[in-house]
Structure 1
Amino acid sequence: MSDRAYRLIFGALLLISLSFDLNYLIYGLIVLSLFEGITNWRIPKLVSRLRAGSGPAYAAMVNANLLPIELPCRFNCEAERVWRFVVALVLFITTVLFYEQLWFFPWFMGFAIFGAGVSGICPLLLAIKWLGFK
């Protein structure tokens, strides 16, 4: 499983949970993102490791950089990990704390994450990499 497929599934689940008012699914997505951010046990990485093993093909896939331009790393933290923290934090703030005032923001995030899964380009992830995370 690639990070692109993960974003597609994550965005679809977020949109489904918002459409049908499934708050427990939203809470589950928040907890999943926090768990992945804290432990760095990402579902795409684990699924790929289970499917491909730990051979050279897996090492090449994990070390592949999808950005055409190399950006300098200022922080010793993966951008995917920071992305999961940001998504969990923003979802928590906009759905649990201030849903009445910021109801549109989870919808925007759902469509943006789903679009990132479809296109393979996540503007938030690119911004995080531009800030200096590896």
Structure 2
Amino acid sequence: MLTSSTTFSGGEDVAYTLQAHGRAVVIGETTRGGAHPTVRHAITAHVQVTVPVARAVNTVTGTNWEGVGVLPDVPVPADRALDTALAAALHTGPGAERDTGPGAGLDTALNTPLNTGLDTALAAERR
């Protein structure tokens, strides 16, 4: 899943949830950090206050991404995230040549069965 510093709210929810459940590798930048649903209330004709009305709580982590954003598994600038993901996807599978450039090791994460060893594969990617 690709993210950037402008990924916000619903997009963050998808990224955070899939990542927490081990169903996606997040590639890109840390997101903006908007987890709490809000409602706007007019104070005057020109002033509004935004008030949180709920709190998202992930069943796996027991928390959310409010104020901190979703941290990518493979941090790269947003303008390189798609190329990094595509390069890793093209270098996966039986007999594929392994790469040592940006995103190298992501092929291991992509070939790792979901929820099994993903942390190990991602730790290798970060080295």
Say yes or no: TM over 0.5. no
Which structure is higher in strand share?
A: 2
Larger Rg: 2
Which structure is higher in helix share?
A: 1
